Structure 1
Amino acid sequence: MHPRQDVTHHPLVPLLLQAGVAVWTQHSRSVNNDLSLVHEQALLDVASGMTFVRERFESVVTLGHSGGGTLYAYYHEQAGLPGDRRISRTPGGRPVPLPEADMPVPDGAVFLAPHPGQGRLLLGCIDPSVADESDPLSVIPELDPFAPANGFAEPPAGSTYPPEFVERYRAAQRERVARIDAVARKHLAEAAKYRTAWKAHGRAEDRRHSLAPRIMTIYRTDADLRTVDLSLDPSERPYGSVFGRRPDLIDYGLVGFGRITTPEAWLSTWSGLSSNADFVRCAPGVTVPTLFLEVTGDQAAFPADSRAMIDALGAADLSSERVRGLHFGNSLAEGEPTGNELAAARIAPWLADRFALAPTD
């Protein structure tokens, strides 16, 4: 499962079936819809699927690829807690019935190329040089990641950013996210005020005000310095981001993470400062046998991210391996096995060592 993408036809499915593993795939209620993705609601969707498979299979192992990794880490953490210690409200303040939910604890966990969480991911790639949140072309020159004066070089040349610029840039990214958080909370507080008034007086006007959505547009979210300066946290990754080879152009286009969202979804999913769906935060709660697979050419989770995630996991039976490949499981070079094929070759024996598999021909 993935919080926001359809993985029902994931390339690992046939590979694992061939190895004798039964595979369950499912959607969240927000698949292909970033606009209203609230992670705490997605956990309820996970719980529904877990209840279904727990009634039918002896062993249940979660497999989270990319953002599915953090989703499942969050689920493991919450499922392992007694009800009265589970999260009962979203970061935006909405009640969520996790304390009362049936949340079966899985027997194992596999993480394939997990990134640190949607919010943490966006915190690394949001462009802090946006000067005016209503103007996608506004730029603060001294923070512009695509200005030669700051270290950028036109591709195919690689960029080289001075350490002091990187430090200022990362601090400014946090500051921009904090400003957007404040706007989201302001919108939610206003809606709550009208909700209270409607309950007190029953006026349709107050009800309309409480229901009217505030849609937030977040400009320029493909500007992680590591995608164009390969000397920053070096790996086997190619130049460019998961969206393409020209972040300097893509950053200004329509495609990107968290571009259109509600205040509730921003705080729950896309804010690296407010979201609970943070892999490192959740990882100590993953205590079942765990396999962590890092891909060497990942353009969303970088080596330092993977080390932090592995170090945070709470499993006593913890295996971590690296396979050649790109973030979505493609091969690094023509003619090589895909990252998904290499991952399946690690996952199947790991499962066989710990759980009963169906016989294969």
Structure 2
Amino acid sequence: MATPYTMRPHALATADGQKVLGFLFSRGGERNAAFLMHPREMVVTHYMVPDVLDAGWACWVQGPRSVGNDLRLEHEIALHDVAAGMQRLRELDFAQIAMIGNSGGAGLLSFYNQQALLAPEQRLARTPGGRPTGLATASMPAPDAMVLLSPHPGQGVLLMNGLDPSVSDENDALSVETSLDPFDPANGFRRPPESSSYAPDFIERYRAAQRERCARIDAHARELLARRNAARARLKSEPNRQDKRIASHAPIFTVWRTDADLRCWDTSLDPSDRLVGSLWGADPAVSNLGSVGFGRVVTPESWLSTWSGLSSNASLANCAPAIEQPALLIEYTGDNCVFPSDVDRIYADLRSSRKQRHRVRGNHHGMALSAEEPPGQIEAGRLVQAWLNEVAPG
């Protein structure tokens, strides 16, 4: 991209009274704009921005209210951040707006689209944790087109697929039920770069146990919320110091060992061009037991809304059927957290009659799979440019 451009920040107020930032990249005179956002990352440096500008479109990058921190992230509330940016683009008089949902941004923007297309009174009134959403009174302009770029099936489904079900005690990060341990050689594990080989009966038991662990954590989260809500109810009729403490307490808890999707370690499962390992690396002792990982520290509300594969509303299985606008889906063939069967289902669920799917060599972030080949980001950018000009020439 050689042509000069400007980047202008916009301070925005959300419908629920928060402050967020949006950034408009423009060369001037564009009629259409793309909208990029991730629920917890500031993606101002996203690799797709130059390609959007080269297509003759402006590019809006929306910042979330809590950058780099999903401790309190509730997707229903994050929709207000999306809405603030979309409202500003409509005020700026762009004719067409195409959303670009990359990775976790795909779930957020698909969820937004689903709610935006509903009559206000039909929108979700409460989060899974019971918090009022305020969506019924929010202005939620709908997009005109949707790009899903390396979309995983939603943060909750992603995490449930990676939950280590051999955790036998949620209060002990090192507790192990050996018959379910994915990193025990007796169950088929091999040290990377060699691929593991898990038996079908182990896989079946493992996946059932993952859902069971997710359900147990859901129950724990709901129990914490019920305890606080009960104390708040009692305070209304009989104020006392102990209930005041319980009612004021905002609990958090740790979810250990969340990097154990069998497909990361056994590349014969859902085969693709990926290498052995996960998005976090090829050493499960570090990625599964370390302090950095998906959903490691959560509130009951954020767990239920964002990280629960059973309770979150922001899954592609739930939201992709509402995408009736022109849609482009790009998958990277060496992705370690989005697998071919995931993409097959997402594409099948898209309701749009004008949808395209493309496969590009690259890892989850579109980086090259070997030193001898170009990054997949380059081809993905070409595909997005061509598609944007097909939808609405800049």
The TM-score range, normalised by the shorter chain, is over 0.9
SS at match of 1:345: helix
CA distance in 2, matches of 1:84, 1:159: 50
1:101 Cα shift?
1.0
The partner residue of 2:76 within 12, 29, 40 is 40
Q: What RMSD in Å do the two structures reach over aligned CA positions?
A: 1.2
2:123 and 2:101 map into 1 onto residues whose CA distance is 21
Shift of 1:205: 4.9
SS in 1 for 2:361: strand
Alignment of 1:73-152 (within 5 A): 73-152=110-189
Question: Does residue 230 of structure 2 align to residue 183 of structure 1?
Answer: no
1:336 is matched with: 373
Aligned residue runs from structure 1 range 156-195, under 5 A? 156-195=193-232
Kindly indicate whether the alpha-carbon contact (under 8 Å) linking 1:286 and 1:315 is maintained by their aligned counterparts in 2. yes
What is the distance in 1 between the residues matched to 2:146 and 2:376?
Answer: 19
Q: Specify the alignment match of 2:305 in structure 1.
A: 268
1:38-59 Cα distance to aligned partner (Å, 9 max, x none): 0001111111111011121111
Query: In proportion to residue count, which structure has more strand?
Result: 2
Shift of 1:350: 0.6
Name the % identity. Answer: 51
CA deviation after TM superposition for structure 1 residue 173, in Å: 0.3
- Cα distance between partner residues in 2 of 1:48 and 1:208: 35
Aligned-partner Cα distance in 1 for 2:279–2:379: 20
- TM-score w.r.t. the length of structure 2 is 0.88
* 1:283 partnered with 2:283: no
| C-alpha distance in 1 between matches for 2:206 and 2:161 | 10
1:20 paired to 2:56:
yes
**Cα distance in 2, alignment partners of residues 153 and 70 from structure 1:** 33
Question: Partners of 1:12 and 1:208 in 2: how far apart?
Answer: 48
Give the corresponding residue for 2:27. none
Residue 47 of structure 2 is matched in structure 1 by: 11
The more displaced of 121-130 and 21-30 is 21-30
Distance 1:216 1:92 in 2: 15
1: CA distance between counterparts of 2:101 and 2:168?
Answer: 36
Give the secondary-structure state (helix, strand or coil) at the position aligned to 2:190.
coil
- 2:55–2:388 CA contact under 8 A, matched in 1: no
Alpha-carbon offset, residue 256 of structure 1: 1.0
CA distance in 2 between partners of 1:94 and 1:16 (Å): 37
Q: Match of 1:296, as an amino acid?
A: T
Alpha-carbon contact 2:256-2:289 (below 8 Å) kept:
yes
- 1:222-241 equivalences under 5 Å are 222-241=259-278
Post-superposition offset of 1:68? 0.2
1:2 to 16, 38, 46: 38
Letter in 1 for 2:300: P
Amino acid at match of 1:128: P
Secondary structure, in 3 states, of the residue corresponding to 2:329?
Answer: strand
Write the mapping of 1:320-335 to structure 2, written as runs, cut at 5 A.
320-335=357-372
Distance 1:53 1:34 in 2: 26
What is the distance in 1 between the residues matched to 2:101 and 2:376?
15
Deviating more after overlay: 188-197 vs 203-212: 203-212
The range that moved more, 203-212 or 128-137, is 203-212
Partner residue of 1:345 out of 382, 388, 393 = 382
Give 1:186 shift. 0.3
How many Å separate the matches in 2 of 1:34 and 1:100? 25
CA deviations over 1:146-171 (Å, ceiling 9, x no partner): 00110001223211000000000000
1:305 and 2:342 matched: yes
User: What residue number does 2:34 align with?
Assistant: none
Which residue number in structure 1 is paired with residue 26 of structure 2?
Answer: none
Aligned twin of 1:31: 67
Q: Contact 1:12–1:341 (CA<8 Å) still a contact in 2?
A: no
Q: Gaps (5+ residues) in structure 2?
A: 1-36
The alpha-carbon deviation at position 18 of structure 1 amounts to 2.6
The number of residues matched between the two structures is 357
Q: Give the secondary structure class of the aligned counterpart of 1:110.
A: strand
1:19 aligned partner, one-letter code: A
More helix by share: 1
Q: Which amino acid aligns with 2:220?
A: V
Q: Which runs of 5+ in 1 are unaligned?
A: none
1:239 maps to a residue whose letter is V
Structure 2 letter corresponding to 1:163: P
Larger mean Cα displacement after TM superposition, 192-201 or 182-191: 192-201
Return the match for 1:55 from 82, 85, 91: 91
**TM-score (norm. length: structure 1):** 0.96
Higher relative CO (Cα under 8 Å, sequence separation at least 6) belongs to: 1
Deviation at 1:242, TM superposition (A): 0.5
Aligned equivalents of 1:13 and 1:211: distance in 2? Answer: 43
SS in structure 2 of the partner of residue 181 of structure 1: helix
Kept after mapping to 1: 8 A contact 2:54/2:385: no
Task: Name the CA distance, whole Å, in 1 between partners of 2:305 and 2:345.
Answer: 22
Instruction: Please identify, of 333-342 and 56-65, the stretch whose mean Cα deviation from structure 2 is larger.
Output: 333-342
SS at match of 1:23: strand
SS in 2 for 1:348: helix
**Letter of the 1:100 counterpart:** T
Assess if the C-alpha contact under 8 Å between 2:55 and 2:389 holds in 1.
no
